[in-house]
Amino acid sequence: MEQKDYPGLYRAADNASISAQSAYLRSVKWHIFTLILGALLAINPLPNAIYSLINASVFLAALGISIFIASKRYERAWYSARAVAESVKTATWRYIMRAEPFLDANSVHEVNAVFRDMLRDILSSNNQIGDLLGGDDCANEQITPEMQSIRARDIEDRKNFYLSARIDEQRKWYAKKSKHNKKRSSQFFALLVVLQATAIALVLSRIAFPEWKIWPTEVFVVAAGAVTTWIQLKRFQEIATAYALTAHEIGIIRTKLDEVNSNELFSDFVRDAENAFSREHTQWIAKVEK
């Protein structure tokens, strides 16, 4: 399904999460840049008042950015909005697949009421981010025509759609992200080793060349610290491992679909699959509660 086919609440939370994530990572990058620039200027080849003031201004900017990051708390908005988006997404797939708690009823209006109540519960549980969920998405439908159309299909059509648009799509996504994060983990670790080795080499070089006055050792030390911070922030290896396990779990769940031959069994299948997908959204909630 495309984003426009999901409830308005999902689209609002998804956009809010992406926006907050971008703002947070952008702020961290600027903080890192000013720290490294300040360390570079601290080498001080021009020991005069103006140069020192420029150097101090850069460190003052770094301090200002750190205060800005702490005050804006972009990461909390990022995690909270993502938790809402993933909760709504899971509820949406349960609804369109007629899975518990959205099983067939005497009237589809009864099921729609259950879905609306679930959205209301999700929203009330996360009212602290209400200011992030504004914009044009507020006017979008919460039960879209595409959702109703898919739900109206027979079980075979729903099974095929769920297999291609949800199971296989999520499996490929987790596998791709796992590979990407594993690669980035190796790259940043190699960069960290190079920076630390360079800093050590410069320290030892001072012994061999004591007459040299300017040594950029601190620049590489600060840069190594910045890379370490980025690795901890992005959690490349941790995410690579978690996503790889999830991809394998989805593959195992996928094999059960051939055994599904009734609405009840399909409901159980969707429940198990969505529980596997929701593991990430549970991690977002855990981050918010820390």
pLDDT at position 130 is 79
- What is the tally of helices (H) and strands (E) in the chain? 10, 0
Range of the structural domain that residue 78 is part of: 3-289
Instruction: Give Cα separations from 254 to 238, 246, 269 (angstroms).
Output: 24, 12, 9
Beta carbons of 183 and 244 less than 8 angstroms apart? no
Quick: pLDDT tens for 2-57: 889 999 999 999 999 999 999 999 999 999 999 999 999 888 767 788 888 998 99
Quick: pLDDT tens for 239-284: 899 889 989 999 999 999 988 988 899 999 999 899 888 776 666 5
Of 214 and 16, the one with more pLDDT: 16
CA gap 201, 212 in Å, rounded = 14
Per the structure, the count of domains in the chain is 1
Question: How does residue 286 score in pLDDT terms, banded at 50, 70 and 90?
Answer: low
Q: What is the pTM of this model?
A: 0.85
DSSP state of 46: S
Q: Which two tokens stand for residue 81?
A: 């909005």
pLDDT at position 27 is 96
Quick: pLDDT tens for 62-106: 999 999 999 998 988 898 899 899 999 999 999 999 999 998 888
Beta carbons of 259 and 265 less than 8 angstroms apart? yes
CA gap 10, 123 in Å, rounded = 10
Quick: pLDDT tens for 110-165: 999 999 999 999 888 887 877 777 777 676 789 999 999 999 999 999 999 999 99
Q: What is the mean pLDDT of the chain?
A: 89
DSSP string, 126-152: TGGGGGGS-SGGGGS-SS-HHHHHHHT
